[in-house]
């Protein structure tokens, strides 16, 4: 776990810096500079782009991670990577040719009449989707050489920093809100080019358009993964898209903020998986079952410990946090709890996803993904449209889908590969998190209400004081009970 923890630690710092910038954008800049309506427009555009990105990428980024270590000669590796570079064009070019018809279909069938202003920007969806597809391809290219830090920086920090820069330009009236949207699109293009040059620097192939010897296996895998990936993207972004079919862009902005805050806890998982994916694939290709199981258990307990800490920090401070935001955003308190529980369950599974996707059982990812997409859509319709639970219903649909999906994946890996991430320490960590949550959720420091330059700062002081107490007590308990050797060692190194 040495290389994993080293790069995961760097990646986690990058991701949380990105979340910090994103938090400032969300809490202060978006509402005050662009307003909730334009925030909703940007959110929906990016959500639509995320929905079609897996289709544009043709699953190539997953295919690179799975098969690159399979090839032993430079010639075979060059054939494989040459194919990876051109494959997305087989989808991107036809989609671009028919884009006017596609965008007309989206606007007519999925956008409420009061939100039709979105059609002025739908070309952004296509451009960003292509850029994200090729970014993921070149990021995977770097991952298989265990070079994840720059790609993680570009994926998790770069976009949020760019948004902050553009929002500042809007504030000083150097650009308009419309120019903000198209400038952001240009920065997505730049990000892809940077990742491409870095991937070429890491490994530059001699272009060879001959098919690799196992091209049939590669093609089959890509087709299954592209469908599963599309279904997975639907699970993440369909709820944000569904909001504007019923409510205004403001409601989409409110819900997006709740999802952003609830997702704050998953940063360690996103960081660790950047390096876990290629290592898991390599161990499976070498039939090293003991190493795979070791990665499974260690990643699960480490992510549960770290995720549990941030789950507590988010949910025990969320009411105070919403006091800092304009009126309307506070309706997302319950959604934050539901989304954060779903993210915790994802983290508990450790590298379960890479194990399934890179094993001989990868075909199960298709029915899992499609089933999850159908389930979340049906539950969204039930809770959001039929029962009218508002955006809390969307969050509940996401949580229930994640619970059923992840439970199936957990049982599947155990039945097929006789591996489980659960140990006695798992129940110990869950007990610690539960006790801390009950103890701190309803309790706050009795900070007097006062303002500085017309801004109420008592919620900020409450968040800071309460967070210091939670972090200190939680880490002391984790170290004393020896829950994770890796985390204890890392904390001791930091303290030294």
pLDDT, tens digit (0-9, with 9 covering 90-100), for 382-399: 998 888 888 899 999 999
If pLDDT is split at 50, 70 and 90, which confidence band does 311 have?
very high
pLDDT at 404 (0 to 100)? 93
Name the H helices within 264-328. Answer: 267-285, 289-315, 318-322
**Can you give the pLDDT at residue 3?**
53
pLDDT class of 233 with cuts at 50, 70, 90: low
CA atoms of 450 and 457, how far apart (whole Å) = 7
Express each pLDDT in 430-475 by its tens digit.
Answer: 999 999 999 998 887 777 776 666 667 888 888 999 999 999 999 9
| Residue 119 pLDDT > 70 | yes
How much is the mean pLDDT over the chain?
84
| Statement: residue 78 has pLDDT above 50 | yes
Count of CB atoms situated within 10 Å of the CB of 376: 25
Asked whether residue 403 carries a pLDDT value surpassing 60, the answer given is yes
Helix, strand, coil shares of the chain, percent, nearest 5, are 85, 0, 15
Percent above pLDDT 70 for the chain: 90
pLDDT at position 254 is 82
Q: Residue 373: what pLDDT?
A: 82
Q: Is pLDDT larger for residue 470 or for residue 219?
A: 470
Q: Which pairs from 360-366 meet CB under 8 Å and 24+ separation?
A: 361/412, 361/416, 361/417, 362/66, 362/221, 362/224, 362/225, 363/224, 364/412, 365/224, 365/225, 365/228, 366/224, 366/227, 366/228, 366/231
The confidence score (pLDDT) of residue 415 equals 93
State both tokens at 358. 């890179």
**Beta strand segments in 88-129, E:** none
* 33-62 confidence digits (pLDDT tens): 887 778 888 888 888 888 888 888 888 888
List of long-range contacts for 482-488, beta carbons under 8 Å, 24+ apart: 483/301, 483/305, 483/425, 483/428, 483/429, 483/432, 484/301, 484/302, 484/305, 484/425, 486/1, 486/5, 486/298, 486/302, 487/302, 487/305, 487/306
Position with higher pLDDT, 121 vs 228? 121
**Residue 192 pLDDT level (bands cut at 50, 70, 90):** very high
Question: Is 110's pLDDT higher than 80?
Answer: no
pLDDT band at 19 (very low <50, low <70, confident <90, very high): confident
pLDDT for residue 1 is more than 50: no
349 vs 179: CA distance, rounded Å: 42
With contact defined as beta carbons under 8 Å apart, do 131 and 194 qualify?
Answer: no
Q: Exposed, middle or buried by CB within 10 Å (0-12, 13-18, 19+), for 412?
A: middle
Kindly tell me if the per-residue pLDDT of 495 is higher than 70.
no
Q: Which residue has the higher pLDDT, 457 or 198?
A: 198
Least confident of 15-19, 187-191, 331-335: 15-19
Residue 144: CB atoms within 10 A of its CB come to 21
357 vs 155, 182, 229, 327, CA distance in Å?
22, 36, 11, 43
């Amino acid at each position: 776990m040495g290389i994993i923890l080293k790069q995961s630690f760097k990646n986690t710092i990058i991701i949380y810096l990105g979340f910090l910038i994103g938090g400032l954008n969300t809490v202060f800049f978006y509402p005050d500079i662009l307003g909730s309506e334009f925030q909703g427009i940007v959110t929906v555009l990016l959500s639509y782009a995320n929905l079609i990105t897996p289709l544009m990428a043709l699953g190539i980024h997953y295919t690179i991670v799975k098969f690159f270590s399979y090839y032993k000669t430079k010639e075979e590796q060059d054939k494989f990577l040459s194919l990876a570079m051109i494959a997305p064009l087989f989808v991107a070019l036809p989609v671009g040719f028919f884009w006017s018809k596609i965008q007309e279909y989206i606007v007519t069938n999925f956008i409420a009449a009061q939100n039709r202003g979105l059609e002025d920007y739908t070309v952004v969806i296509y451009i960003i989707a292509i850029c994200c597809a090729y970014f993921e391809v070149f990021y995977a290219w770097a991952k298989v050489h265990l070079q994840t830090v720059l790609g993680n920086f570009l994926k998790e920090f770069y976009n949020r920093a760019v948004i902050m820069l553009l929002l500042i330009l809007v504030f000083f009236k150097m650009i308009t809100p419309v120019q903000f949207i198209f400038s952001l699109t240009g920065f997505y293009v730049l990000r892809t080019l940077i990742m491409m040059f870095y991937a070429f620097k890491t490994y530059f192939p001699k272009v060879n358009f001959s098919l690799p010897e196992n091209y049939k296996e590669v093609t089959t895998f890509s087709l299954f993964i592209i469908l599963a990936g599309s279904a997975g993207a639907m699970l993440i972004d369909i709820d944000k898209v569904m909001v504007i079919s019923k409510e205004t862009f403001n409601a989409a902005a409110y819900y997006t903020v709740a999802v952003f805050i609830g997702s704050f806890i998953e940063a360690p998982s996103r960081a660790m998986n950047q390096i876990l994916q290629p290592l898991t694939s390599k161990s499976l290709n070498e039939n090293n079952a003991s190493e795979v199981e070791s990665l499974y258990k260690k990643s699960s307990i480490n992510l549960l410990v770290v995720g549990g800490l941030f789950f507590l920090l988010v949910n025990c401070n969320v009411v105070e946090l919403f006091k800092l935001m304009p009126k309307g955003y506070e309706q997302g308190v319950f959604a934050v709890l539901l989304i954060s529980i779903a993210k915790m369950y994802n983290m508990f599974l450790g590298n379960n996803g890479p194990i399934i996707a890179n094993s001989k059982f990868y075909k199960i990812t298709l029915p899992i993904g499609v089933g999850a997409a159908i389930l979340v859509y049906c539950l969204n319709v039930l809770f959001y449209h039929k029962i009218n639970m508002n955006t809390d219903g969307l969050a509940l649909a996401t949580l229930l889908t994640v619970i059923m999906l992840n439970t199936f994946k957990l049982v599947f890996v155990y039945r097929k590969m006789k591996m489980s991430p659960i140990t006695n320490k798992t129940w110990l960590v869950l007990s610690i998190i539960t006790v801390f949550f009950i103890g701190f959720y309803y309790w706050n420091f009795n900070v007097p209400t006062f303002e500085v330059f017309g801004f109420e700062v008592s919620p900020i002081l409450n968040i800071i004081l309460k967070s210091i107490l939670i972090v200190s007590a939680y880490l002391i308990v984790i170290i004393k009970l020896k829950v994770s050797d890796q985390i204890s060692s890392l904390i001791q190194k930091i303290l030294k």
